[in-house]
A and B are shown apart, each in its own frame.
Chain A
Amino acid sequence: MLRYFMPLVVIIVLLVFFYKGLGNDPGVLPSQYIGKPAPVFELPSLKDASRTVSNADLKGQVSLVNIWATWCTGCRAEHGFLMQLAEQGDIPIYAINWRDRRDSALSFLSQLGDPYVASGFDEDGRVGIDWGVYGAPETFLIDPDGQVVYRFTGPLSDAAWQREFVPRIEELRQ
């Protein structure tokens, strides 16, 4: 008799998982590193493989670390806003080019403009895993001590910027 109930039990367990998974909206999932130092990384620079980008570059200033890739449509969507932000020159934007190809990443930046102070090239996605990246694009706000202050998932827009980033940056700079 019991075997006829097994499928029912299995599916109920699965549905519970799905329900919890649905609540796990990546947009509100806070980074486990918030208030802690940003994960250690040292990546070859995208533009010049002989140089590196690492935590040392972030020290001493409030900065953004943007995770992006050419294959990600959300990254294309936010690119215009990042350019605008870079032109204002208020905050340096660092990038981790995540699971991408160097040639496509470079042509992307040469066509659409390069808003980044420096880009690290994370070809195999290791650093992305260390940072707990869920999916590109993601943007981390880092304080002058190199600690993660805030994590934003999804394409950045002016509205999200004003709402989530501006107050936090002002607080950091006081």
Chain B
Amino acid sequence: MIPELGHFALILALSLALCQALLPLIGAQRNDATMMSVARSAATGQFVFVAISFGCLTWAFLQDDFSVLYVASHSQLSLPTPYKVSAVWSAHEGSLLMWILILAGWTLAVARFSGDMPQKLVSRVIGVLGLLSVGFLLFALLTSNPFERLVPAALDGADLNPLLQDPGLAIHPPLLYIGYVGFSVAFAFAIAAMISGELDQQWAKWTRPWTTVAWLFLTMGIALGSWWAYYELGWGGWWFWDPVENASFMPWLIGTALIHSLAVTERRGLFKSWTLLLAITAFSLSLLGTFLVRSGIIVSVHAFASDPTRGFFILAFLGVVIVGALALYAWRAPSMDSSAGFALLSRETFLLLNNVLLVVATTVVLLGTLAPLIVEMLNGGKISVGAPWFEVAFLIPMLPLIFLLGLGMHTAWRKQASDSWIRVLRIPAIIAVVLGIVIPLLFYGRVSVMIAVGCILAVWMVSTALVLPLRSWRREKGTAGITRSTLGMSVAHLGMGLFVLGATVVSSFGMEADRSIRIGESLELAGFEFELRELRQVQGPNYSAIEGVVEVRDGGEFIGTVRPQKRQYLVQKNWMTEAGIHSSLNKDLFVALGDQLGDGVWSIRVQYKPMISFIWIAAFVMALGGVIAVSDRRYRVPVRGRQDANDVVAEAV
């Protein structure tokens, strides 16, 4: 009964989404306030019914209702309860439902926090979001119904893929989806602006915080995914340029470009058509990501079940949304651009370069991801673009980007005087060159051109990012301090610097060794000694494992014990590697148990990963920068409230 209720709620949500899409859009066209007023309540109703549907599916998982096909295929009686919940979004049908829920959630947030926006704009934005909801609800109901029954019911489920039984992966998809789907808001704002033909600086001010929030969730989602791959896949890498990873990375790159382009549109009223194009592209790439993952068109290590009918539906949906949006763009954008001049040495120039380089970087990733597909279709045989290609090609736009970023932060809008510019940047430049060479030499004993370039750029970014906050901190009270916007920008750039530092150091100085080892023997790597003390059987709730107890010593001094495991899950019978990681701020020591090679002999993989934790810390610092930026006063004070305040002031005067 509960699953049928969930199915029914989904159908009701579709009807409400249709109302939410059509009435406000038509109303805005006809200037009909009654029709437009439907927008907010329909959006709320749609959210409620999607939430009920999602709740029903979760309930089916918690109740072990194996008469539901989706539950029977992705859960099991002895699965720990938190994973029964996360199993809801572990595969296609459920994650699609979560996508729909998050889209409805964003729409609700727009409906709720748009009190100061003109009714026409709100109606159009909610209407466009409604159209997207209709598409996804149809997709779920027609091709991927999560409530399909299994007759006769199974006695026990097939279990959740053991790879996914992990706290990191339980929260990675929701964060990632909040980010992905969040770009739909910027997309809806762009479509609304193009329908009305009006795009002013106020529009950019409304669009910006939504974009930043989506971006910061995407940042955290990607970082968590990378962290998960690092410790769960047992290879010790943190980014594999896998198509699915790329699918989340491309919207991030374009989203980053969009945030910067919106800054220009808000402050100077420039780059309007460019901002629109980026808003469309960011969301299109999110959709493309879904398409690539779900259709099976590109082979990936991420094993989402692929199905050609689903692929066809997504492709058709993708076509309607993107072609529609870009056709509207081709028609409307030419009349929306405004021209205002800016000097060559101005912040506008640097933000333009930022945008160009980020778009080039995205193109590199897109080409690398699609190359196997396109070459194959042109009958060029099969080629495979691997990590080495990406690592080189991606650096070409990224190195100048990082260098210019430090300059751009300290360049004024419109026109920057070059002498004061040099005065500000002189000190960070000196610090960067000195520390960039000293750090690797001092801590790791060697330096090469590439290592120095990476470290210098990283320190350059960190030091230029610190200039404004430090200056504001030293300033006497009473003078205007730094705005939250500026502080947020500085913090996000600081995070980027930390990331470059971590990535450079770990890829330059990381070490690994594979050995076979007996109990009582030890091996050495990078000055650390790893001794296999014992091997024992461990029983988990739904797996049994062999656990190695490995003692780690640094120059004879005991620093910790790690317990890598080989787990065999009882239902699916596959073996999983659970790495043992001794983690500290400046390094990770990573031990993974391999296979039993003979009596008492085990293969073991040991890795030394200096500063790898910086990569994830950096991502959260970047996200924190986003949080600080959206908390800026000008986004919090609604126009009406500010006017009231002005009135009060005027009266007082």
Chain A interface residues toward B at CB < 8 A: 1, 4-5, 7-8, 11-12, 14-15, 17-22, 24-25, 71, 73, 76, 103-104, 106-107, 129, 132, 134-135
Contacts and interface: CB of A to CB of B under 8 A. Distances in A.
A160 to B, nearest CB: 17
A11 B277 contact: no
A8 B596 contact: no
Contacts of A1: 334
Contacts of A132: 382
B318 interface: yes
A15 B318 CA distance: 8
Contacts of A5: 330
B318 to A, nearest CB: 7
B596 A4 contact: no
Interface string B288-312: 0001000101010101000010011
Interface in B39-89: none
Given A21-B297, A22-B297, A73-B303, A11 B315 contact: no
A19 B318 CA distance: 11
Q: DSSP majority for the B interface?
A: helix
B284 A25 contact: no
B142 interface: no
B237 interface: no
B377 A15 contact: no
A15 B325 CA distance: 14
Contacts of B312: 22
Contact of B596 (A22, A71, A73, A107): A107
Contacts of B370: 14, 17
Interface of B: 273, 277, 280-281, 284, 291, 295, 297, 299, 301, 303, 308, 311-312, 315, 318-319, 322-323, 326-327, 329-330, 333-334, 370, 373-374, 376-377, 382, 574, 594-597, 603
Nearest to A12: B323
B184 to A, nearest CB: 17
Contact of A104 (B301, B318, B374, B595): B595
Contact of B326 (A7, A17, A21, A104): A7
Nearest to A29: B376
6 contacts: A4-B333, A5-B330, A8-B330, A21-B297, A103-B597, A107-B596
Contacts of A106: 595
Contacts of A73: 303, 574
Contacts of A15: 315, 318-319, 322-323
B312 to A, nearest CB: 6
A17 B329 contact: no
A134 B603 CA distance: 31
B277 to A, nearest CB: 6
A173 B312 CA distance: 41
B291 A18 contact: yes
A14 to B, nearest CB: 8
A155 B155 CA distance: 25
Contacts of A107: 595-596
Contacts of A21: 297, 373, 377
Nearest to B568: A111
A7 B301 CA distance: 31
B324 to A, nearest CB: 10
B284 to A, nearest CB: 7
A106 B277 CA distance: 53
A103 B597 CA distance: 8
B277 A7 contact: yes
A172 B502 CA distance: 60
A153 to B, nearest CB: 11
Contacts of A12: 323
Given A7-B280, A24-B376, 18 more contacts: A4-B273, A4-B329, A4-B334, A8-B326, A8-B327, A12-B323, A15-B315, A15-B318, A18-B291, A19-B315, A21-B297, A22-B308, A22-B315, A71-B301, A73-B303, A76-B574, A103-B603, A134-B382
